[in-house]
Amino acid sequence: MKRIALCIGNDAYSILPALNCAIADATAMEKELKNLGFDTELRTDLDRTGLADAIFSFSDKIENYDAALIYYAGHGFQVDGDNILAPIELDIQARPELVKYNAFPLSDLTEVLNRFPNQTKIVILDACREIIGHRGAIKDFAPISAPQGSVIAFAASPGPGSPRTR
């Protein structure tokens, strides 16, 4: 079985609180997945363009594999009911529409993965959600249904009262 993995770790946030172990977590995950036979790619401290490029470049390779795994460590939360992954320059004090525009929506990621119905897809979100935020930014993820043939795993359960601090 051919397997591929993309591991993303964001620590160096310029506006949100900086993290100190997301890159270490992504690096450790990448090493373990490589030991398990995955072809791996590690990307760190990504801005919005870098985050989108990493995900879309990774999706270009999925068709040649039986299984694809994406691991994300960094800030993540919901804005107006939409789950987002936070690039390092994200400003959550902006209008909610701008926050969503400048982040990477989880729905966009699942849409990309839906293009590959014959592959097994796994998304692991190890997101720090302890954010003092804007009226539209909530420090948790909204529940989400995984597309057919996919698994979406959270480091902590979605919903209130379950933030994971770093």
Count of residues for the chain?
A: 166
Q: At what angle do helices 48-62 and 106-113 cross, to 10 degrees?
A: 20
Q: Is the pLDDT of residue 166 over 50?
A: no
Say how far apart CA 4 and CA 55 lie, in whole Å: 12
The pLDDT of 137-156, averaged and rounded, is 63
**Who has greater pLDDT, 8 or 79?**
8
| Token output for 31 | 């090493």
Are the C-beta atoms of residues 140 and 160 closer than 8 Å to each other? yes
Give the integer Cα–Cα distance in Å for 97 and 35: 41
Whether pLDDT at 95 is above 60: yes
pLDDT, position 157? 54
Determine the Cα–Cα distance for residues 83 and 38; give it in Å rounded to an integer.
27
User: Could you report the per-residue pLDDT of 27-78, keeping only the tens digit for each?
Assistant: 999 999 999 999 999 999 999 999 999 999 999 999 999 999 999 999 988 8
Query: Has residue 159 got a pLDDT over 60?
Result: no
